[in-house]
Amino acid sequence: MQRIVVLAGGIGGARFLRGLKSAVPDAEITVIGNTGDDIHLFGLKVCPDLDTVMYTLGGGIHEEQGWGRAGESFAVKEELAAYGVGPEWFGLGDRDFATHIVRTQMLGAGYPLSAVTEALCDRWQPGVRLLPMSDDRVETHVLIDDPDGGEGARKAVHFQEYWVRMRASADAHAIVPVGAEQAKPAPGVLEAIAAADVILFPPSNPVVSIGTILGVPGIREAVADATAPVVGLSPIVGGAPVRGMADKVLAAVGVDSTADAVARHYGPGLLDGWLVDTVDAAAVGGVEDAGIRCRAVPLMMTDVEATAAMAREALALAEEVRR
Amino acid sequence: MQRIVVLAGGIGGARFLRGLKSAVPDAEITVIGNTGDDIHLFGLKVCPDLDTVMYTLGGGIHEEQGWGRAGESFAVKEELAAYGVGPEWFGLGDRDFATHIVRTQMLGAGYPLSAVTEALCDRWQPGVRLLPMSDDRVETHVLIDDPDGGEGARKAVHFQEYWVRMRASADAHAIVPVGAEQAKPAPGVLEAIAAADVILFPPSNPVVSIGTILGVPGIREAVADATAPVVGLSPIVGGAPVRGMADKVLAAVGVDSTADAVARHYGPGLLDGWLVDTVDAAAVGGVEDAGIRCRAVPLMMTDVEATAAMAREALALAEEVRR
């Protein structure tokens, strides 16, 4: 049985995984999920990326939105607002709240996040093994100008505040994964990477999703040292992110929003193969010159079948570059 | 302005308070609420009696039910059940959940329950000052037979489990207010009792509501020593509780379920006056022989006006017995 490890952020990662499962239903897929965008809201621990993967693969996702639950209601949120308790900019529905209540209760009882995630997945049966990148708290902060702080003043805001409340409207000067240096990979993460037949980077955010996962000490090294080929799919198509505001955070780390710049950002020490969209076919030569095998194929996840085709291309490229 | 202190349990206390407010809209009413039936559910702190008073006086109560919120939905509870997380026998609705989420978050941030209750009441504007009996944790347990434990074995269950899940179907051998001995009255409780013009015991449960409040060290003594007259209203009418299962817990403390037995249980050291229902007029003489002034008046809280009439009778009796 083919063992595939996927480093995944939220919506992009989750949708890619659905295609991958469709392409290779018998594969044993381990997902290493980003937890850098986790946030404490109303005293509850919210793990947006893990939940997006779990709900998407488990059949509970709000399809159009890409995050949150289908058939959602918002009574709790309305009541919290009536109490004057915010933030109101983070859209937690009633069904979603239950997930965070269960998670928070289990964490309070002493279970690590990896065990909690496994328990939540017992219900959702996502068909993959979903591991948080770490059981330790890592919180992505974004450094932006502080308009109230005088000339040149800057302040750090939680990634969710930057992404959801501000819609990434301010320039990001730096991305700071608070706690990353002290974090350890969650149980099973390094073992899964070492035992993988293929490692995939889906078209997730290269900075605040995959970059954060790779920033947990030991994970980047494990991926680089793995015997498995490592193949990524560009989240940048035609010079802009397919969805989201990845260009904003790429700028913060000095990377152009192009399919080839992202490949070079990961680097040939990490990536063996890279898929760009057909509109970026001109970028193939530059990526290959950098030592990364590259193919141009359709990369729009318009439906499960198109996404499955992308996954098959990624797996084919992995076979081609297998060391 | 007349200062009235009321020791209150849940539904009976809350409905009486609505009548009292109607009878004397200008009075300054301080409610000392029972917290012995508080329970932690799903990692959240639930205070059923405080919330019933707050929702009833604030216009948010489910009228027919007497507890919980009007217009309630149950998405969170359904989801928790889908996760296999119980208990399912405690009916927490989505709107109610928001209250417990706010409370738990504030307690986690270090605020005492009294400050949290004040913050919640900022929204509900109950028109009374609502104080928990104590900021310390007191948890009423009920000692019952343990059918799995062999001959004569007994076990303690949380009051809510006994009351809500078991519907008080087992005999209660003892009522144990765990933590009561170490509890201190919440800030303002003793001061309110000392400054009161009248102290009232509404027709709440004499054992697990008013009895638990009086069991916080210092409160019984403060009531007994107060200059204000203390008048109670019988929760027992015609030999049975008007609502609830007070007979079960009265038996545990060796008190008959009669209007006069309950008066003698409180005792003349505490009570100056006692109201029984007109159907219990024959009990008046016995109560007065015990040293407690007694009147028989209608005691069914059928609507706000009938309840206001009861409150007026209680205040009139207080004037009559004023020392």
Which tens digit of pLDDT belongs to each residue from A25-59? 999 999 999 999 999 999 999 999 999 999 999 99
Q: Which residues in A lie closer than 8 A to residue B123 (C-beta atoms)? A: 82-84
Q: How many residues does chain B have?
A: 323
Mean pLDDT of A195-199: 98
Q: Where residue B323 falls among pLDDT bands split at 50, 70, 90?
A: low
Residue B142 confidence (pLDDT) above 90:
yes
Interface of A with B (CB under 8 A): 42-44, 73, 75-80, 82-85, 93-95, 97-99, 101-102, 104-105, 108, 119-120, 122-123
**CB atoms < 10 A from the CB of A153, how many?**
10
**Distance of residue A132 Cα from the nearest chain B Cα, in angstroms:** 19
Q: Where residue B68 falls among pLDDT bands split at 50, 70, 90?
A: very high
- The 10s digit of each residue's pLDDT in B9-56 is 999 999 999 999 999 999 999 999 999 999 999 999 999 999 999 999
Q: Cis peptide leading into A202, omega within 30 of 0?
A: no
Residue B308 confidence (pLDDT) above 90:
yes
Classify the phi-psi angles of B151: left when phi > 0, otherwise alpha if psi is within -120 to 50, otherwise beta. beta
Average pLDDT, rounded, for chain A: 96
pLDDT of residue A323: 63
Model ipTM value: 0.90
Mean pLDDT of B129-141: 97
DSSP letters along A20-71, please?
HHHH-TTSEEEEEE--TT-EEETTEEE-HHHHHHHHHHHT-B-TTTSSSBTT
Please give the Cα distance from B174 to B141 (Å, whole number).
8
Mean pLDDT of A122-140: 98
Question: Residues B200, B196, B134, CA angle at the centre, nearest 5°?
Answer: 75
Please give the Cα distance from B86 to B206 (Å, whole number).
30
Separation in Å, CA A172 to CA A322, B175, B211: 37, 61, 60
| CB-based contact B80 A98, cutoff 8 Å | yes
Residue B301 confidence (pLDDT) above 90:
yes
pLDDT of residue B36: 97
A3, with CB counted inside 10 A (0-12, 13-18, 19+), is middle
The annotation places the binding site of A at 51
pLDDT of residue B69: 97
Helix axes A94-108, A75-82, angle to 10 degrees: 80
Mean pLDDT of A180-198: 98
Residue B126 confidence (pLDDT) above 80:
yes
- The 10s digit of each residue's pLDDT in B175-213 is 999 999 999 999 999 999 999 999 999 999 999 999 999
SS3 B6: strand
Domains, chain B, with CATH or none = 3-134+182-321 (3.40.50.10680), 139-181 (no CATH)
Residue B250 confidence (pLDDT) above 80:
yes
Separation in Å, CA A252 to CA A168, A173, A199, A206: 12, 5, 26, 12
pLDDT of residue A239: 87
Residue B1 confidence (pLDDT) above 90:
no
Classify the phi-psi angles of B24: left when phi > 0, otherwise alpha if psi is within -120 to 50, otherwise beta. beta
Query: Percent of chain A, pLDDT > 70?
Result: 100
Residue B270 confidence (pLDDT) above 70:
yes
A98 contacts A159 by C-beta, under 8 angstroms: no
| CB-based contact B99 A79, cutoff 8 Å | yes
| CB-based contact A75 B73, cutoff 8 Å | yes
Q: Where residue B246 falls among pLDDT bands split at 50, 70, 90?
A: confident
Pairing of strands A28-33, A129-132: parallel
